[in-house]
Amino acid sequence: GSNLLVSDQGYRGVIIQLYKEMSQVEVEGNVIRAQAGASLARIAGAALEAGLTGFEFAAGIPGTLGGACVMNGGEMKDVLVRVTVLDEDDKIHVIEKDDLELGYRTSIIAKKGYTVLGAEIELREGEKEAIRALMNELKEKRVTKQPLEYPSAGSTFKRPEGYFAGKLVQDAGLRGFRVGDAMVSEKHCGFVINAGEATAAQVDELMKQVSAKVREQFGVTLEPEVKRLGEF
């Protein structure tokens, strides 16, 4: 649920949580095979223990392998070999890297509505201490630059071509802007945080107002990166 904004009315349907029930991670040579529910941090830890480099970027990213495959999170395009998915007719498919259509925050998985079951990642041999140092450096950057001390659904808006969403929001004078307890982070304007008892409706309304103000001032339309689930 890292990138989800769930309606205050809940969701009229069934939610299947893969997380801990499907979280196996296996390392064989320079290949890691993991189930969709495995956390990115756990996979990064397994890579470190095996002395494999290339997955350090994921060490501090919240969420699971399945979500990262759907959204092409971080630098997944550089390490994915193949992904196993389930389609809407309960058929299992193995999709090779070249057929994943990985783009900025998108993939064939997202377009077709597939459910990720697992994936294979190929990394390179590296030095454990160098891998650990890079992981710590990236974690530190994330902690100092992002409002991780507050609940949020992660980066709120997609990066518009030629711009940075957070910079546009900041330049529109919206740092700290609030609707109820939903607030544009003062630490990083690309995040909408829950500063207390924010409702999903307040977060949704804040996103709409921020998008309208940015469009009015700069002529740029901000698209949500956060996915809405349920009725809004």
Residue numbers annotated as active site: 105, 155, 225
- Alpha-carbon span 190 to 117, nearest angstrom: 30
125-134 long-range contacts, Cβ below 8 Å, gap at least 24?
A: 125/30, 125/51, 125/52, 125/53, 126/51, 126/52, 126/53, 126/54, 127/51, 127/53, 128/48, 128/51, 130/53, 131/47, 131/48, 131/51, 131/52, 131/53, 131/56, 132/48, 134/53, 134/56
Say if strands 25-28 and 92-96 run parallel, antiparallel, or are unpaired. Answer: unpaired
- Alpha-carbon span 151 to 17, nearest angstrom: 20
Number of other CB atoms surrounding residue 55 within 10 Å: 25
